[in-house]
Each structure stands twice: as C-alpha cells, then as structure tokens.
Structure 1
C-alpha cells in the first residue's frame, strides 16, 4: 500500500521523466532497482529484467522520448505514470514500487493489447 511520501516520489519520478534527464531519474532509483517490461512480442521491450539504477535510468530515458508526456494517474489503484504522445495516445504505463525515498521496482507495460483499456479512456 502506498503511503503519503510514496505519492511524492511518484510525482518527482514523473517530473524527472518529463525532463528526460537520466541523472534526475537515476537519483530517484534505488541502487538495486529492477525494471520489467512487457511488449507482448508486438513492440520492442527488454526480454529480461533490467537491473541497477544506471541501466534502468537509461532504459526509461529511451522510453520517454521528445513528444511523450508523462502524467501521474491511478495504475492498479495506486499512483503510476502514463506516457502519452502529444496527441494523447497511450504508449506505456509504468507501475512503481516505492520504498522510502526511492523507486525499487518499475513495471512497464508496452503491449498494445494490455494498453487497450488505457486507449479506450482517450
């Protein structure tokens, strides 16, 4: 369950993603952070978990390209980050596990079939 401070971490994370700064993103990640992504075989995604703050920050920086706008929204009932193109199309949904002031796990959904729910909200 998220605590009040966790919400602040998610908002700082979204702000760092919006800036596109690997350093800013990395500063919010635990040293042993793990990112797991799912492209469903339909879009490019890492096939194994990405581990470590520098590698996860690099992965996220590549995901949040110019023309992508991150916003904090409810993801599975908790605050997460939704990446949309400037015309509002959802390209990814990020669910975060937070421990203290750091993000310890990032789940990235890129699979178009799994994003169908998000696209129906556009």
Structure 2
C-alpha cells in the first residue's frame, strides 16, 4: 500500500490543473447541476462510468486492486472523486489550503490511499451502484 499515493499524484495534479484552467466553467457547472435534476443525474452517471474505467485499469495493473471487489472499489472511487473535487474546489475558489500546489497534491494523494484502504475494510459509504 505504500506506493499507492504515487499512483494518484498525476491524477490529482490533472484535476488541480483542470480546476485552475476552467475555474469559470466549473463555477457555472456547479450552479447548473443544482438547478437541473437531469443534468445532475447525468453527471452522477458519468462519475460512475469514469470510476468504473479507473478501477478496471487499476485491477489490470495492480495486484492490490485486483484482489479487491470491483463494486466496492467503484463505490470508493466515486467517493474519492467527491473528496478530490471538494478539496480542490475550495483550494481554488475560496482559499489556498497549502502554499504550494505540490503539497496539496501530496496531501490529497495520501488521503486517497488512506480512504481506499479504509473503505475496503469498512462499508460505511452509501451503496452508489
């Protein structure tokens, strides 16, 4: 499990870059999904589809992920998507949570590794699928 945070660094870095480059769009999209139930549902389905793809890739390339139940991993990645976006959104929109982006990326990457391990041991999240 010790090398798992490194798996996430590139992903978190891309999310951060996307949020910075598309700040206006992201703010407008958040507003839109709050007022449009169909758009919100489509967004949820997209998150599940993306999470499923990530899990399938990881299960092909990692013994750790291969040994885990696919449905629980997908639920975990949907949960993780929400964690990443909430933290990055607040970092970009409201206040810098860390002085350097690299520190934020390291923090979130380690948080994600812990979250996956925790969620695989505990079924405390809502069954998303």
Sort the TM-score into its range (normalised by shorter chain).
Answer: under 0.3
Larger radius of gyration: 2
Q: Which structure has the higher relative contact order (CA within 8 Å, separation 6+)?
A: 2
- Superposition TM-score, scaled by structure 1 size: 0.28
